[in-house]
Structure 1
Amino acid sequence: MTAIEALDAAWMREHPLPDPGGSGKDGRGQVLVVGGEVELAGAAMLAGVAALRAGAGKLQLAVAQDAVAALSVALPEARVLSLPRDGPDSARGHWTRLTEQAGHCDALLVGPGMMDDDSGLAAGLLAASQAIVVDAGALKAVTDAPPRSARILTPNAGEMAGLLGVSREKVEADPLAAGTQAAERFGAVVVAKGATTHVIHPDGRAGRYAGGGPGLGVSGSGDVLAGLIVGLLARGACPFDAAAWGVFLHGEAGARLASRIGRLGYLAREISTEAPSILSSF
């Protein structure tokens, strides 16, 4: 492995994001977020808002049918699709529509608000997009999928343990080693989330971000991080840079909220609101 780089403001200046210039929304990419089951449809909304805050131009969400109307009103910036319920055979229309949309988007995020993949939805979507972020309940599908260099995985310690078939304690004892193993095994950029977050490329490159603070350990925070990353990916950033920038934005937003609101107590929905001003400082 090469030397671990600090993912700080200097690194961001040395690795600028693609300049959208005067392009409209089509020039900044289209994001599709898939995974909002009815009890957790808000997770997809958190991720989708974060993608827009990161500068993506167009957004679609796919959530449980019972949540479509509510999210269409709560997030009028997005087109909201209905998730297939029981697999491709029993929900052929919705399944086909979703895979077609996945194939047409610039970046796909699968997993926020997905508790499992019993229908095989995540597994079916892993090959549907050239640029894909895999999070939460969709991560299990990666174990049976062929490697893809444009894929970004965002596991926490428990999810990493499940991916590698080891104990959570082993992952927490050496998260960089676990992330490196996962990056090599799955041929993907891995964001090993924790108090210190590592971003690891399958070629051995690695970055470390240790800022942010304990307030980021709040329900929905991981959905926001995944949304920031997929938004940057849609804008044209390479997978490693999109992941590194997303981790940095997420952490710096937490630091700003901590100084203004308090170390603890700010909400996940507030994190992505800080992203535009942080981006504008570069």
Structure 2
Amino acid sequence: MIRAHTVEEVRAAEAALMATLPDGALMQRAAHGLANAVLGLLGGGYGRRVLLLVGSGDNGGDALYAGAVLARRGALVEAWLLSEAAHQPGLAALRAAGGRVRAPRAVAFDVVLDGIVGIGGRPGLRPDAEAALALVAGTPVVAVDTPSGVDVDTGATPGPHVRAELTVTFGTHKACHLVDPAALACGAVELVDIGLELPAAGIEALQAADVAALLPRPAPDAHKYTRGVVGVRAGSAAYPGAGLLSVAGASSGLAGMVRYDGDDAVCELIRAQHPEVVGPGRVQAWVVGSGSDTAAEPALRSAVDDGVPVVVDADALAFADLAHGRPAVLTPHAGELSRMLGVDREAIEAEPLAHARVAAERYATVVLLKGRHTVVARPDGTVRVSTTGTPWLATAGAGDVLGGLVGALLATGLDPFDAASVGSWLHGAAATLAAQRGPIVATDVAAALPDLLATLTTT
């Protein structure tokens, strides 16, 4: 499990640890971890040209001490000081190791260390920092802790910011490492353990082992009804494929039975491709809304009246108030959430974490906000972020498959938060698996689920 903490939590943990350590010991831990990550990226240090962009405070100090380590490993290290308040002990260490302080100028480097702004800094960059970055445009950047200029706690990027190839963070992940759009600026993220004792995190990202532990497995005496029955009310004469894809996601094998209750023409398509799917009857969870057209509202009302968990997707999201306070998962993309909250789509894409939390509180249920890094929020503000997936997953019908998959997990007994976060992780991982053969469509994602699940349920 990846856990992300707030700046306030990190600062408190750092202060507690520093009280038990000699002066400077914590910064040395961070700097050596940073230097080792840079050496790994470069494939060694000897003869490499390294630039340090150094702002004020401890973040600049981390960069300076790491530069000293790299200089001792044979790198040619140069620092550009972007603040008069540069960390003086770190600066002395760099000079003692043979590093130089120079004025910004156009010259080639193998890597740039971004030590401009620390986690306590305000978003955005000063003009001098922008100008320095412009001089080395195209050079790989390693961000120290977080890319300078991003909003660390929200994942927003309201102003100019660094775009890194690698971010080396200390003690714990932060929201900006997981949540877009800031996560896009981080590149790969490497965590250096510096010994912090931290509280429970408000943001998590499931990993393969976590998903495997949460996946339902049949009991020795299981039968199709005890394994869970999921019902699908999706598709219409206008959008038959949506019903078919929802059923494909639900028919991953996780639930014991899938029922379809909807348009007769869609039913014929489903019977041709999924003969194991049966007709209406009692279920343990419903999936409602994908391509439902005018049937969305009555379908959702009926599902809610059954008193079982429900996935509310697509057309049914217009009536999401019917699921208020219920065991449900609402699955909007940014455009749908903009209509639900009365907020511009651009604002939601700029701060998906904040808006997913607002929606979960507003509807008093779990909200799965789809995106490159999908955000799953509970009403209490707890969040899981899915980091699996591939750009090829941006394809028509992929969300229909996701809704069916989450519904199947609900039917097996997972609570809405677990079902949504596990389903999102599986959906992205299945797309990545399918994309190994090239570009994909939504049916490829559903088809890849059994192979993916086999790797998780046999370990």
TM band (smaller chain): 0.7 to 0.9
Task: Give the helix-richer structure, 1 or 2.
Answer: 1
Structure 1 residue 123 corresponds to structure 2 residue 301: yes
Counterpart residue number, 1:88: none
How far the C-alpha of 1:132 sits from its partner, in A, is 0.6
CA deviations on 1:12-53 (whole Å, 9 max, x unpaired) are 24x422332231211211111002111212211211122121
Change (3 A) 1:57 1:143: same
CA deviations on 1:144-195 (whole Å, 9 max, x unpaired) are 55421x1111100111111111111111111111110111111111111011
Return the letter of the residue paired with 1:275: L
- Preserved contact between residue 288 and residue 296 of structure 2 (Cα < 8 Å): no
- Out of 91, 107, 111, the residue aligned to residue 285 of structure 2 is 107
Matches for 1:35-54 after TM superposition, within 5 Å:
35-54=234-253
- Preserved contact between residue 253 and residue 450 of structure 2 (Cα < 8 Å): yes
CA deviations on 1:101-129 (whole Å, 9 max, x unpaired) are 4xx21110001112345763323432323
**Distance (whole Å) between structure 2 residues aligned to residue 118 and residue 62 of structure 1:** 12
Structure 1 residue 24 corresponds to structure 2 residue 223: yes
Counterpart residue number, 2:274: 75
**Distance (whole Å) between structure 1 residues aligned to residue 224 and residue 258 of structure 2:** 10
Counterpart residue number, 1:135: 313
- Out of 195, 219, 240, the residue aligned to residue 372 of structure 2 is 195
**Distance (whole Å) between structure 2 residues aligned to residue 186 and residue 233 of structure 1:** 18
CA deviations on 1:216-272 (whole Å, 9 max, x unpaired) are 11111000111111111111111111111101110001111222x22xx31211112
- Out of 225, 247, 252, the residue aligned to residue 424 of structure 2 is 247
| Contiguous gaps of at least 5 residues in structure 1 | 82-100
- Preserved contact between residue 297 and residue 316 of structure 2 (Cα < 8 Å): no
Counterpart residue number, 1:270: 444
- Out of 346, 360, 368, the residue aligned to residue 169 of structure 1 is 346
Counterpart residue number, 2:412: 235
Change (3 A) 1:174 1:109: same
Q: What's the secondary structure of 1:63's corresponding residue? A: coil
**Distance (whole Å) between structure 2 residues aligned to residue 109 and residue 202 of structure 1:** 21
Change (3 A) 1:161 1:117: farther
**Distance (whole Å) between structure 2 residues aligned to residue 281 and residue 189 of structure 1:** 28
Q: What's the secondary structure of 1:38's corresponding residue? A: coil
**Distance (whole Å) between structure 1 residues aligned to residue 338 and residue 267 of structure 2:** 33
Change (3 A) 1:186 1:51: same
How far the C-alpha of 1:279 sits from its partner, in A, is 2.2
| Contiguous gaps of at least 5 residues in structure 2 | 1-5, 7-200
Counterpart residue number, 1:93: none
Q: What's the secondary structure of 1:249's corresponding residue? A: helix
Structure of higher CA gyration radius? 2
**Distance (whole Å) between structure 1 residues aligned to residue 385 and residue 296 of structure 2:** 34
Change (3 A) 1:254 1:74: closer
How far the C-alpha of 1:72 sits from its partner, in A, is 2.6
Counterpart residue number, 2:38: none
Q: TM-score, normalised by structure 1?
A: 0.84
- Out of 30, 40, 60, the residue aligned to residue 259 of structure 2 is 60
**Distance (whole Å) between structure 2 residues aligned to residue 218 and residue 4 of structure 1:** 27
How far the C-alpha of 1:215 sits from its partner, in A, is 0.8
Return the letter of the residue paired with 1:273: A
- Preserved contact between residue 135 and residue 155 of structure 1 (Cα < 8 Å): yes
CA deviations on 1:78-97 (whole Å, 9 max, x unpaired) are 1246xxxxxxxxxxxxxxxx
- Preserved contact between residue 54 and residue 232 of structure 1 (Cα < 8 Å): no
Q: Percent identity?
A: 36
Q: What's the secondary structure of 1:28's corresponding residue? A: coil
Counterpart residue number, 1:184: 361
Change (3 A) 1:16 1:257: same
Q: What's the secondary structure of 2:214's corresponding residue? A: coil
Higher-RCO chain (CA-CA 8 Å, sequence separation at least 6): 1
Change (3 A) 1:78 1:30: same
Matched residue pairs, number?
256
Return the letter of the residue paired with 1:233: L
Q: What's the secondary structure of 2:225's corresponding residue? A: helix
Counterpart residue number, 1:86: none
Structure 1 residue 207 corresponds to structure 2 residue 384: yes
Structure 1 residue 256 corresponds to structure 2 residue 455: no
Q: What's the secondary structure of 1:26's corresponding residue? A: coil
Q: What's the secondary structure of 1:25's corresponding residue? A: coil
